[in-house]
Structure 1
């Protein structure tokens, strides 16, 4: 019985033309051979199984071929090519750096380099897995690699380029091998299957190419394994069964169940996946990839981004047409969140089941939010209406009669419905503690049915003449309205929605605080210095409605008026006018004292902010010029404490400080080069430019 040779060795490329998926490398090498611009050292780096060592052998064979073809390919018939194919060539030396990584191994290699080739033009040294060499071995190899003999060529191959020291990298021509595309691998597997007389389905070969993850050697190894398992007929089902791969059918069935809100089918599918021994995390990742494929197939332009066989691609396109775009985007968000939190979950199966529950009712949640939105398809809906003085907010429920006219049933509960989606679940947020509301979503238009309250309903509000009469169930009572006209909480139980009789408003001086708020110190008002303030009783007594509702204030206002009472109830008189100017010497002295106190407390950052001269204008405003925005932040941190102390010591409560970043002085252009110097002089003396052109001079001095 003949010895079996694996497909990775039997169908190993022997020419540049037969290399799969690395045309950017093979074309460069062929051009270098043809133009005789061969480098002294090459570095082939890339993932496993993409053809690094194969290209190194083909290069070594081609440069010693005595009968090159016009396409720069080795003939395969000359003495050098025959010796290479029989592994008897003395011009090609291969070294495994994984097991020969010491300085002594590199010294032996350097000794061999001294001998010229007996036949042929070049002596090629192929060092595989070169990143396994020690640092001492790399350093021992530097001199020979940089200045080898004219006949010596080194080809280094590695899968981990980052482990090679920079001094080696700088002495080599670097070629990056890319992962082989799925379609290129599938075509090569089809070629191997045809040569071996094996019947294989395209879906089966495509799945093998996908499973190989860019490595052709892995794909050929799995191909041999499948042929051993299924014989000369390779089917898709056998590949899925033998390689233990989650079939596309699982994900198509899952999405079909989610689109129809069939949660039971989704949960049973998850149980089937677990019973077949698949990992839950792989199922979650596969679901995310499937949803991404559906999203890609929503547009005919991006279908080409899906790396699947033509038969599977048609299924993707068909299901993508049935899946709404909003569902796919929200589902991708949910499944990505499930993937991120999977490792931290204690009960991982429950974690995945919860994600499936959210996905199952995602369509209903999206539709529910659309129906609650204030505008659908560009038609604005009436959201709220006001009754009386605006104390109660009414949210209508929309419906339609037999004629198709929209009717609005007012609901007396001031419920602010805010639709939102949190992890795929619609949430109705209430702005106040209102009665519970049930949402009925069977009809196309959402209706709100208010639950009855145990308390007795108040008398209905009087409706104006000509107002439309609302149809539908009786609205429920809303919560007690809060008074908003005066900001004082009501003290009685039964609210009154009757408007209070209009009271005459006594004219008062309008006071507005225009200065920054300071917690310490006496607040001041624009144009008014601090003085006697009106008593609270006198201020509140001027509001009739408030005095009638607060007993204590009512009693205070009904006391017999005497001399003191008359004075307290009277409007205080404030004197307005310009404030006294600030003594600059006093301001500067107090300012420096505060700065020196911070230096004594070792608060040097604040000291450097304050250590400068300041002046105040007529409005008691001080502009503090600082150097940068960081000092502005530092001053703002100490503003409250500093201003309080500054006002107290100077006796001017209206003092305020505004930090301003000083503008940087413009810097002159520096002349570094001769051209800069010439241009500078030419601007001052235009005749220099003309002299330069006539004499043909250059600005090199």
Structure 2
């Protein structure tokens, strides 16, 4: 069952804002887990599903109520709970007989209690995981013909509907498309792709979102306050991260943490309970591997392992922190995320200022491939250490294009070993008290290579026309012709070109051009095909310019006079004169209009003779 939690304290406890009164408590000695105790009872109690609530509210207010809903999402986001609240809203009726379908239910109605406790005769819940056959669906089809006993609608809630067999789905089709007016269907599933499209097309679909970590933390804090439990903010954040957007999972973990800590929820007890790594130690491990201090990284990993942390979980947390640093580097506003601890925020910003994106991206790739190796190894600590070695020695290796340029220019490449995270002196630079990263290791390392990226490229191409001209200089006639006639320029920057294809253009032009540019300039160019229209091709531009010159020449009085003098004459070519030549002609007065006219007439007479 799926529950989004924001519910109710027992009747003997004072009601808090957001927690409506609950039904009578169970028998003495029976314990209700938090996931059931604080289960939502109205749409106002749902957290993280505002879009769905707004849509349902508008539908109920305008009377546009469909015959079937499909609720989908990961486990624990509130699918079954939403289905019960929806059934309660459809059958809401006050004690005096008033009310109608609504999502606003300020007080318990006649049918509300029985519906929320899943014991109402007109609201039938079926678990499709255990009732998968066509016979189970036939029972629903046979019973749907009869009117409800006491409620307004007969509501059928089918959980995990994707588990139904193909024949069961087919038996549903006709009834689902044209049900009796007193019947409503609510389906819930975690595997929406397994539901036939013929079923989906007959339902109004709602995708329930994972609940944001900050909302989960605030929700857990309210529940701890209602339960009289002291909880550290870092502990609640760790529970929210482990729940991965599932409210039910977060409450189950909180229940376990309260029992584990004897009524007090501390970050240390949550880490011990979940086998998590200490976030501060993860940050120290990240610092050690990024500065190339392998012994310190090994010692840190061994300390966490001895404390009960799973090596695979340590690497997962290390990958998560690498992602955090990358986000902080690219989006500084991410530092305001309430799910980040103060250590992650402050030291993450320090790392973001000192590490290039290339090193962070490569660290992420190494960790992403190393985690499955550790999980599948019979010696997880040794496997994790080898991943740290790869990370320390390969996180700042040159890219292939940098290596090619270094070989071409004759500059030495590193002989191996980790490189400093950013340019610094060769002397050791230990971490400061604030936790800033040491940019160089105290261990001996090879001499750093010159920064070949800072060297100016041999060829500077500032316009697309320069690229076409370079293709002509390199005698790439076929490529030059294709660039002139088959592509339209969308965007051009040094190192990046975006093109769209003209009619009949070859789709391999992008790869051919990228390969040629890397060979000509020694730089890696990104050439991409776009769906945008782009500018006209260079050939089209040349034709348009030629037409414009001809039209301009034809409108000149002198040319018009010549064409009038000689019927049938045509303009064969138009030669543009450079501005300095025009100025020279104007200064010397070589040829005025009258002289030009006389000259043309004389030449024409000579030709006729």
TM-score grouping bracket, smaller chain normalisation: 0.5 to 0.7
User: Taking CA–CA contacts closer than 8 Å with sequence separation of 6 or more, which of the two structures ends up with the larger relative contact order?
Assistant: 2
Q: CA deviation at 1:279?
A: 3.7
Give the aligned partner of residue 266 of structure 2: 235
What are the Cα deviations for residues 101-132 of structure 1, in whole angstroms up to 9, with x where unaligned?
A: 22222222122211112333211111111112
Query: Which of 20, 23, 45 is equivalent to 2:72?
Result: 45
- Distance in 1, Cα, partners of 2:136 & 2:376: 48
Q: CA deviation at 1:351?
A: 5.0
5+ residue gaps, structure 1, are 375-382, 385-415, 427-439, 447-627, 630-701
TM-fit CA distance, 1:444: 9.4
* Largest Rg, 1 or 2: 1
- Distance in 2 between residues matched to 1:291 and 1:15, nearest whole Å: 40
Identify if the C-alpha distance between structure 1 residues 296 and 39 changes in structure 2 by more than 3 Å, giving closer, same or farther: same
Contact 1:69 1:75 in 2 (8 A): no
Partner of 2:63: 36
Contact 1:365/1:421 (<8 A) preserved? no
Give CA deviations for 1:195-218 in whole Å, capped at 9, x if unaligned: 111111111111101101121111
1:608-645 CA distances to partner (integer Å, 9 max, x unpaired)? Answer: xxxxxxxxxxxxxxxxxxxx99xxxxxxxxxxxxxxxx
For residues 269-284 of structure 1, what are the structure 2 equivalents within 5 Å?
269-284=300-315
Using the alignment, how far apart are the partners of 1:41 and 1:443 within structure 2? 70
CA-to-aligned-CA distance 1:581-602 (integer Å, 9 cap, x gap): xxxxxxxxxxxxxxxxxxxxxx
**In structure 2, C-alpha distance between the alignment counterparts of 1:55 and 1:161, rounded to whole Å:** 17
Aligned to 2:134: 103
The answer for the alignment partner of 1:656 in structure 2 is none
Of residues 213-222 and 168-177 in structure 1, the stretch that sits farther from structure 2 once superposed is 168-177
* 1:73 aligned residue (99, 104, 120): 104
The aligned residue for residue 61 of structure 1 is 88
Please give the secondary structure, in 2, of the residue aligned with 1:298. helix
Q: Tell me if 1:148 matches 2:179.
A: yes
Which residue is equivalent to 1:4? Answer: 31
Contact in 2 for aligned 1:74/1:81 (Cα 8 Å): no
| Residue of structure 2 equivalent to 1:221 | 252
Q: CA–CA distance in 2 between the matches of 1:205 and 1:350?
A: 32
* Deviation at residue 222 of structure 1 after TM alignment: 0.7
Aligned equivalent of 2:321, options 271, 290, 303: 290
| Alignment match, 2:124 | 93
Deviation at 1:250, TM superposition (A): 2.3
Instruction: Measure, in 2, the Cα distance between the counterparts of 1:262 and 1:177.
Output: 45
Q: What's the counterpart of residue 679 of structure 1?
A: none
Return the alpha-carbon distance in structure 2 between the equivalents of residues 444 and 78 of structure 1. 76
Residues 241 and 340 (structure 1), Cα distance of their counterparts in 2 relative to 1, 3 Å cut: closer
Contact map agreement 1:199 1:232 (CA 8 A) in 2: yes
Q: Is 2:295 the partner of 1:301?
A: no
User: 401, 413, 418: which one pairs with 1:419?
Assistant: 413
Q: Matched residue of 1:127: which SS? A: strand
Residues 211-610 of structure 1 aligned to structure 2 (within 5 Å): 211-258=242-289, 261-298=292-329, 301-304=332-335, 308-320=339-351, 323-325=354-356, 327-336=359-368, 338-339=370-371, 349-357=381-389, 359-360=391-392, 416-419=410-413
Deviation at 1:78, TM superposition (A): 2.9
Determine if contact 2:83/2:157 at 8 Å carries over to the other structure: yes
Which residue does 1:126 correspond to in 2?
A: 157
How far apart in 1 are the matches of 2:129 and 2:290? 54
The question of whether the paired residues in 1 share the 8 Å contact of 2:161 and 2:189 is answered with yes
The yes-or-no answer on 1:165 pairing with 2:159 is no
The question of whether the paired residues in 1 share the 8 Å contact of 2:294 and 2:389 is answered with yes
Q: CA deviation at 1:248?
A: 1.0
1:652-680 C-alpha deviation (Å, 9 max, x unpaired) = xxxxxxxxxxxxxxxxxxxxxxxxxxxxx
Which has the larger helix fraction? 2
Question: CA separation in 2, counterparts of 1:36 and 1:364?
Answer: 62
Instruction: Tell me the CA shift for residue 314 of structure 1.
Output: 2.8
Count of aligned positions: 394
CA positional deviation for 1:308: 2.8
Shift of 1:342: 5.7
Contact 1:91 1:122 in 2 (8 A): yes
- 1:18 equivalent in alignment to 2:50: no
- Bigger mean CA offset, 175-184 vs 283-292: 283-292
Q: Which runs of 5 or more structure 2 residues have no equivalent in the other structure?
A: 1-27, 421-443, 451-504, 507-609
* Alpha-carbon separation, structure 2, partners of 1:102 and 1:442: 69
Distance 1:70 1:138 in 2: 28
CA displacement at 1:309 relative to structure 2: 3.3
Q: Does the 8 Å contact 2:283/2:344 carry over to 1?
A: no
SS at match of 2:152: coil
Q: What aligned pairs does 1:171-190 form with structure 2 within 5 A after superposition?
A: 171-190=202-221
When the two chains are superposed, the root-mean-square deviation of aligned CA atoms in Å is 3.8
2:130 and 2:367 map into 1 onto residues whose CA distance is 46
Deviations 1:257-316 (Å, cap 9, x if unpaired)?
A: 335543221111222334345443333332222122122223563425867334344344
Partner Cα separation in structure 2 for residue 349 and residue 115 of structure 1: 64
Alpha-carbon distance in 2 for matches of 1:38, 1:283: 50
Q: Say which SS state the counterpart of residue 79 (structure 1) adopts.
A: coil
Give me the whole-angstrom Cα distance separating, in 1, the residues matched to 2:193 and 2:337: 32
Q: Where does residue 588 of structure 1 map in the other structure?
A: none
Q: What displacement does 1:152 show?
A: 0.5
TM, length-normalised to structure 1? 0.50
Looking at structure 1, the residues matched to 323 and 196 of structure 2 have their Cα atoms a distance apart, in angstroms, of 40
Are residues 192 and 265 of structure 1, via their aligned partners in 2, closer, same or farther at CA, if it must alter by over 3 Å? same
User: C-alpha distance in 1, partners of 2:67/2:396?
Assistant: 67
SS of the residue 2:125 aligns to: strand
- After TM superposition, give the deviation of residue 53 of structure 1 in Å: 0.8
Q: What SS class does the counterpart of residue 297 from structure 1 fall into?
A: helix
What secondary structure is seen at the aligned counterpart in 1 of 2:157? strand
Partner SS state of residue 47, structure 2: coil
Provide the rounded CA distance (Å) in 2 between the counterparts of 1:364 and 1:94: 57
The Cα of 1:417 is off from its aligned counterpart by 3.8
